[in-house]
Amino acid sequence: MSTHCNLVFMLVVTLYGQVYAGRIFGGHEVVPHSRPYMAIVRKHLENGDVRYCGGFLINQDFVMTAAHCYSSSYTVFLGVHDTTALNDEVQQIEVEQSFPHEGYNKTGYINDVMLLKLGSKAKFTSSVKPIKLAEYDDKSLPNPCIVCGWGRVDNENTGMSSKLMEVDITLVSNEYCEQQNSYCSEGVNGPREGDSGGPLVCKEGMVYGVVSAMKNSPGHKLYTYTKIPDYNDWILSIKEKTVIKI
């Protein structure tokens, strides 16, 4: 019981004390544990501070997130819906090794994807399950889509949401997105900084992208998502590197 109390206390204090864990604007609360692939990625900084990103479980061994969420060490939380709730469904797992894409460019958020190898296998339950990665990109936009996160639900400075929220988005095509080779959405509603690393879930319930960056212009917000189908070979190579050969 004390372990769960400490876990919830740490999540609540850090989520409300620092606005890092994601800001879903214009969204709604998800049905509890209906998004069992969602992960909270706690980053441990060298100065002792912690920051948060989103992430998602792709198998028992790996969580995917954004490369710009890179840090010296991490803890992953699985099975979370309400950060204030005490239950035995939450799994807290240390990360054994991180694999940011070697071609990541922090100036343009190019190749903004990272795999986190868990120190122990995630236990699949009704509230913890992996999500399937989209394997092919037929150059069409896989609408409709959703993004999820724990964060502010409006433009007021009301702190973070304790419950997992999601928002419906529509992907758009424009010259900037094509140059970046990214999926994009635009408008007021959507993810913000700190919600990075969360999944872009589209048709057939597969994850097509990783929440990457937001571009501001007068009266306009453009959100970019790293295209997962472009990284299937890279993902496979990372998995093969970590296979234990007996």
| Catalytic residue, candidates 112, 182, 185, 212 | 112
Is residue 12 a contact partner of residue 83, using CB atoms and an 8 Å limit?
A: yes
Per the annotation, the verdict on 196 as an active-site residue is: yes
Q: Please state the three-class secondary structure of 102-164 as a single string.
A: CCCECCCCECCCEEEEECCCCCCCCCCCCCCECCCCCCCCCCCEEEEECCCCCCCCCCCCCEC
Biggest distance spanned by C-alpha atoms of the chain? 58
Which residues lie across from 55 on neighbouring strands? 39
Per the annotation, the verdict on 217 as an active-site residue is: no
Distance CA 200, CA 2 (A): 35
| Catalytic residue, candidates 68, 127, 195, 212 | 68
| Catalytic residue, candidates 161, 185, 196, 212 | 196
Residue appearing with tokens 């949401």: 161
CA-to-CA separations, 36 to 155, 164, 205, 221, 231, in angstroms, rounded: 27, 11, 12, 29, 23
- Positions marked active-site: 68, 112, 196
